[in-house]
Amino acid sequence: MKETFVSNPTSGSTSERKVFAFGNHPMAVEADAHPVTSATATGNGFRIIMDELLVGNNIEEVACRGAVDNDSFARVPLGANPDDIAKCSSAQDVLPRTCQGDFAICMCAIPGGCTVGVTSIAEGLPVGVLDINQDGAADETRMIDGSVGVQCGTIAVPLDLDASYWNPSGNQQVPAMGGFDALGPAIVLLPTRGLPTNIECQLQFSDEVVDKQGIQPCTPTGGDVNAGCNPGDMSAFKFKVEPMSFQNDPPTMATGVNRMSPVVLLANTQLDMTTINATNITVTTSTGGATVPAFTFSIMMNKNVTITFAAPLSPNAVYTVTVTTGVEDSFGQPLPAPHVITFTTAN
């Protein structure tokens, strides 16, 4: 996963790097592997490298030709093989004959029936595996919701189920191409809108996720696989997400600032737009006779806030912009302390 770290102690500037947040690897150096206390809030992802092959049927499901229950994805029965997928990928008119039995996939489970195009499928009959290229294999797979997740306090982090996946290939050795990012076998998790800020998180697996011997994943103390762990116990691995923070233009303590320039705030996470208002972001002046013109907010990408003034600021005046702790990220996590900018305008 990625962490944010101070890359220049003198200036305080930060950078991002990908690290082993739990466990280690013989080819990793100290900077590559350590507990994470400032996980990057946006653009992060997780590669969970396993020491055993998992039963993929309990992690991913395949796309069907239409809705089969509350969506158009269905699980692959335990024991099914590629031939069973091919039997349920055949043409619509022969599906009832080829796709049947204990290993049938994409069966209609909607009372009253399912629909594929203009064709009605009775409950209990096959809808068919989506196989547009007709190669006898499923065209799309998706991670089963709830099979693997990231839990931050009471917040279950939404995952991109289409982009997340189980990769059963690999032997934990670094391949010729891809480096640590290609280690496997591995589960890859990609959050849809990042992580909640300033909170401790951990991984969660459903009870159904097991290896070929029926054993649940667990995290050994210190990441030492030789130490052993209790199946299903993931408590040894935790990480903390970086707090919400802002960069700004103009810089704080800047002088000679253009009186017509807006103030731009760049957040390190997606914001709750309802908290971006004149109550939670204030502009004041400490210069006698100076005024604070009316201002409006505009937001880009749910992260970047621009404060635009309706009239020029007063000349040679000191202004203070305060972002209060009332500003929250998209998960409701607040700014931990006010962010204050002070600058002086030009004559």
Same domain, 328 and 254: yes
How many CB atoms lie under 10 A from the CB of residue 57?
A: 16
pLDDT score, position 30: 79
Last residue of a domain, one of 72, 90, 121: 121
Same domain, 151 and 96: no
pLDDT average, residue stretch 53-66: 97
Same domain, 151 and 18: yes
Establish if 14 belongs to a structural domain.
yes
pLDDT score, position 177: 85
User: In this model, does residue 327 exceed pLDDT 90?
Assistant: yes
SS3 223: helix
Same domain, 148 and 256: no
Same domain, 81 and 42: no
Please write the tens of the pLDDT for every residue from 86-129. 999 999 999 999 999 999 999 999 999 999 999 999 999 999 99
pLDDT score, position 29: 84
Domain that holds residue 150: 2-55+144-240
Establish if 139 belongs to a structural domain.
no
Please tell me the total count of domains within the chain.
Answer: 3
pLDDT score, position 39: 98
User: In this model, does residue 151 exceed pLDDT 90?
Assistant: yes
Give Cα 293 distance to the centre of its chain: 40
Cα R_g (the chain), whole angstroms: 26
Please write the tens of the pLDDT for every residue from 226-244. 888 999 999 999 999 999 9
Same domain, 295 and 220: no
pLDDT score, position 223: 84
Expressed in angstroms, the distance from the first to the final Cα of the chain is 48
Same domain, 150 and 208: yes
Please report where in the chains the tokens 């009372």 appear, as a residue. Answer: 111
pLDDT score, position 242: 98
Per-residue buried b or exposed e for 82-111, using 16+ beta carbons within 10 Å of the residue's own CB: eebbbbbbbeeeebeebbeeebbbbbbebe
Q: What percent of the chain has pLDDT over 90?
A: 90
Establish if 269 belongs to a structural domain.
yes
Same domain, 73 and 48: no
Dihedral (Cα; 250, 302, 335, 47), 10-degree rounding: -110
Please write the tens of the pLDDT for every residue from 238-287. 999 999 999 999 999 999 999 999 999 999 999 999 999 999 999 999 99
Establish if 164 belongs to a structural domain.
yes
Same domain, 289 and 306: yes
Same domain, 150 and 225: yes
Same domain, 23 and 169: yes
In the predicted model, what is the mean pLDDT of the chain?
95
d(CA 99, CA 220): 43
Establish if 137 belongs to a structural domain.
no
Global pTM reads 0.91
d(CA 21, CA 31): 11
Please write the tens of the pLDDT for every residue from 190-215. 999 999 999 999 999 999 999 999 99
Burial status of residue 300 (CB atoms within 10 A of its CB: 0-12, 13-18, 19 or more)? exposed
